Structure 1
């Protein structure tokens, strides 16, 4: 009877050791990819910032690691998006034409598309011919509480369209040159 209990204890110990070894080596058991809802939010942004197919790495493959996509940077620990560099992705080839005809090609950006990125610290949107305020779809102010750097240079903002800045309480650096201010 004692020998049987020792044998069961030994088998249990071996199973636990093997399971721990598998978990340690198992790449699919851990979360090394970006969060799924942030990946989906990036894919919703893609059509607005993919002029000339610049965002080829942004693919609609479930489980694709958006932290490895071009123009995206994530926190290495939390895997949350912390930087988004979408500068000059909208009208790069037509920028001279747009600057000469400033009101013809301006577009309005629904800022609520950035809300899933709760840890976003740096957002670069320069040179994209954005012509309206960065308010949410419902008209409320943009609330990115961790945003520290915002580059909106080279767009078509006017004096009356920058009221959204009031909702950016952590902002340390704001670039607005090259607008209609």
Structure 2
């Protein structure tokens, strides 16, 4: 295979081939501080979701205190307090994180699967289909998503508001 020692002008360079690609990738990842912090935060959120049945004392819609005066400050019954209907905010937060992580996970899986299929078909067929797929991809990359949402929102007003205005008259 390749020598592990390469000598140039009297200097020996050792361990050139002894670092595996995984070790190199791990070192690059660890040197990127933002990636490490984000991974730690994601790990903490996943642990909250896994252990939520143990830490959340109440269900999502279960009331800690009955209205009126249902707002409670943080205390031993409700770690983050309660909302206006008397529901535990900590339990609602934990179960909300669970739903958000599940949606994000499946969205990522679906996007990767669709991207692989469309990319494989575009690469296999080539020609005009590949050109169209690439132009659509360029359009998505060049046109910011939030600007597109604002344009769609402003050009198509919601019909619900118009119906409510008619009923009020």
Mark yes or no: TM-score above 0.5: no
The structure with the greater share of residues assigned to strand is 1
Comparing both structures, which one devotes a greater share of its residues to helix?
A: 2
TM-score, scaled to structure 2: 0.22
Structure with larger RCO (C-alpha < 8 A, sep 6+): 1
TM-score normalized by structure 1?
0.21
